[in-house]
Structure 1
C-alpha cells in the first residue's frame, strides 16, 4: 500500500487584476484555498500594470519567478493566468480539469523530505530531513523559501480589462523570502517569524521540483 501523503501539493497561480482571462482562474484558486491537500498561492505579476490598471498586489519579484520557470522550460514568453503544479507541470490557470489532473498525479508521488515544526511564541522552529533514505539521495542544491500571504481580499477594479468587476482574491502572496540553502543530507534547523499566514516551500535549485511544503502561519 502506498504511503499516505501528509504535505500539500503546491499550486502557484500567476495572475493579474488587469487580465480579463484571469477571473475564472482566480475563482478556482479561491475554491481550493480551504483544502488541506493543496497549497494554492497567487503570485500577482506586474507586466499588466501599464495597460489601464495597476494591480494592487503585483510585485516584480513574482514576475521574476514566473520568468524563471519559463527559462527552465525553454519557453520564450510568459502569460496569465498560468498554473504551475509542484514546480513541474504547467497549464492555463483557468483549465480547472487539467489542474485537477496534475494535482492528482502529484498526490501519488511519495514525499522526499520531512518537515517538523515547533512554535515558540511568534517564532517557528523548522527541521528539514530526508524522508526515506531508500528512495535515494536528495538533490544537493535545495532552496528553502517562505511565502507570506493574505488569505482573502475583495477588490473593486475601476479600469482596465476587468473594469467594473469586484473580485475576491485568495492566498495572495505578499512576500517571498529566500531563507536558506540545504544540501539534502544532514537535518537542517532554522527559525522564522512567519506572521499569521505563511508557508514553507522547499524546492530544488533553479526552480526545479518542489520537494516539500507546509503551512506554518501562526493563525493556521
Structure 2
C-alpha cells in the first residue's frame, strides 16, 4: 500500500601486442565515456511515519551500494529526503523537514502529478515511480539521461564546532543557457538507526542511509560555457553527533524545470 497525503504510494607476439594495444585503446575510450557520462541522481521522498516507506528505505540503501543497478552499468547518487506531512499521525520523523516537503511539492507540479505521496522516487528530476518498486526504479535509472559530472575542487573547514564551511571551484562541464540553473550542495548522513515509538511503524527499528541533512544553493548561473569556472561557498549548520565518516557531500546542477544536469560526489575528511 502506498501512503498518500490526504489518501492512505612475458613478451607476446606482434599479434598479441596489437591485441593489447587495441584493448588499452578500448579501455581508455570506455574510461573517457564513463567520465563524460556522470552519475544518475535518485531522490527518495520518505517518512518514518509512513507504513510503506521502510521497504523503500531499505531498497535505497541497496541501490546506493550498487546491489540493484551495478555502478559499472550506471553510477548512482542516492539522496533521501524525509518529509514532514505524516508527523501528525503520532510519530514525528526526526529527520523530517518542511523544506523537503516543499521540494517534493515542486516535483509534483513539474511532473504534473495529482498529489504528494510516499515513498516516491524521482530520477534526474525527470521521472518518478513508487519508491518500493525495485524493477521500476532500475528501469528509470537505466533510462535516465546522463551528463558529464562537474569537475570541481572542494575545500572543507570547521570555523566553529557547530558549522562546516564548504568551498567549491571548477567547471560545471555542462553549458547553461540563458534560462539559468542553480548549483546545489547536499550534505547527507548514513548509518542512522531509530527506535519508532508511535505511529504506523511503532515498535520497529528503522535504518536509514543517504539522509539529506542540509541542502543549500551555492551559486546561480546562466549563459556559462562548460569550461567556465564557477565558484561558491556555503556555511552549513551541523547537528549533535556529526560524524564525517558517515557523511558525504553532493554537488549538482538543476535547471528551473528541476532537471538535474550533472552531479559530483565528495567524501568528507575524517580529520575535520
Greater Rg over alpha carbons, structure: 2
Q: In structure 1, the residue corresponding to 2:172 is in which secondary structure?
A: strand
- Which residue is 1:169 aligned to? 208
Partner residue of 1:117? 153
Please state which structure has a larger fraction of its residues in strand: 1
Q: Superposition pairs for residues 17-166 of structure 1, below 5 Å?
A: 17-35=48-66, 37-106=75-144, 109-112=145-148, 114-119=150-155, 123-131=166-174, 138-140=176-178, 141-166=180-205
The answer as to whether partners of 1:12 and 1:84 remain within 8 angstroms in 2 is yes
Structure with more relative contact order (C-alpha pairs < 8 Å, separation 6 or more): 1
TM-score by structure 2 length? 0.71
**Alpha-carbon distance between aligned partners in 2 of 1:77 and 1:156, rounded to the nearest angstrom:** 29
CA RMSD of aligned residues (A): 2.3
TM-score by length of 1: 0.86
Instruction: For 2:171 and 2:190, locate their aligned partners in 1 and report how far apart those are by CA, in whole Å.
Output: 26
Using the alignment, how far apart are the partners of 2:42 and 2:196 within structure 1?
A: 25
Q: Secondary structure at the match of 2:56?
A: helix
Offset at 1:98? 0.8
Aligned residues: 212
Structure 1: which 5+ residue stretches go unaligned? 132-136
Structure number having the greater helix percentage: 2
- 1-side partners of 2:65 and 2:234: how far apart? 24
Shift of 1:118: 4.4
CA displacement at 1:31 relative to structure 2: 1.3
User: Where in structure 2 are there 5+ consecutive unaligned residues?
Assistant: 1-28, 159-165, 239-243
Distance 2:60 2:187 in 1: 16
